[in-house]
Structure 1
């Protein structure tokens, strides 16, 4: 969208300027304000508006780290267009290192929200009303839950041609064609016609350098592709240069058939063939060890890193070819 005139949260955003704003829409029962810092950088020339978000789930720290580095290294300062960074959307979940919003709800399951709904729903409503309308593109950073470590991947709707092309530009090892979850932030933005890349990498309450690097370089490639700023030199010096991503149209979880101590044998991101050994589950007393084999060919896009699993736990996420 042309950015000749822009106003965000009552603040005029002038060309070539940066602003630190706070989204303040509610208080807790203690009177503590829920203030979410928003870092806005506008280029001197017109161009698209890119929203970069992390921490919608408060315990997904790696996304916060990616955006922190984008800001600290001044990569969020475009020559053309505007970059809006919200490193920690769920600020109280982040403080408490929990996934949920303070009212116990999953913020990513209440969009587009309601001005008269729950605390999380009201917060979602204000994001959609005050920020989302001016956005053209969004990169939303997430991680796997609990002990499930995701290979770096972008998720897009299979029918969204432009978003699929942007996912390839992003350059994560995998592009997962996945329908939007009902009432998620991605669905709400998509329903407004916005282009959204959802990045998954790593696990909750963890920071991984490889995941961080993938998330940073992907954002730079997207900004470069959109004509917001050239990052040719920066990308040339970064490790993990852009590869042709593997596109995944369907996948399935391998679940533990026994409870016990879990030993994965394969590396995350590797390609396996039917019959390959994936890992084993054994009891702690040396009485048994059950081998887990691949049921079909595919790439391993998530591994459960818990040393102990229960029967039925998801332990490997593998694409279906």
Structure 2
């Protein structure tokens, strides 16, 4: 058992990432929360705002093995999962691991891969193993996929299926920096710290212990019921064809547990649930055709659900 608390691990990683990613403390906080919840992250934004930089900073901050897979239309499923090759010299088949056999996998421009290639990630994102030629191979733990995609460029891209979107714990947007942060980014590009300069600030064993601490955070039944009511309310919204799944309810609670640990609390509050509702639930909603035509956003729907769902009171620790 490590003597380092989950909050200390979060502070180390956050401070390290923010040496490069300037002016985005809340974004970094949510990324680290997803990491401590051992969930996968989808970063979606226009080009040039630092999606890949953020992913690489997180990968550099964690000791162990990291890999980067650049998704292109000619990328094959075997490039991701690995392949079995016959070794003529030894007269036997040998498994050659693919890019997912790492603690942190940066899946860059994931929507440029074909649906067949994208689906190669489904099993490993859910079960942390891949099956090649009927043989299961475990990936190392902790295991995290950080995927990026560009939502505005449609030519040569393939939309992620709902089943795969549901396996991402959170979907985040980097957004434009404020003026002072953008100036700092430009100046740091000439004389400051780069992604390649970042050291690893935690090792995999310490991170795994922090993940265990997060899962032990107390969740009152009233808070759990609140999370479930939020997910259920998305299924009943008139603009939603398919609402958040049970996996979405679980993701709400786990991410909220991570936030409570980062804030050095041993219990989850309704405010923790509210803080993560949009990044956890919005990408899981499938809108009706009418809602899509009217350009109604899923984040807007989650906000409506939050406003309409009663919040439990007097919730604390045991």
TM-score range normalised by the length of the shorter chain: under 0.3
Structure with more of its chain in strand, by fraction: 1
- Normalization by structure 1: what TM-score? 0.27
Structure with more of its chain in helix, by fraction: 2
- Normalization by structure 2: what TM-score? 0.27
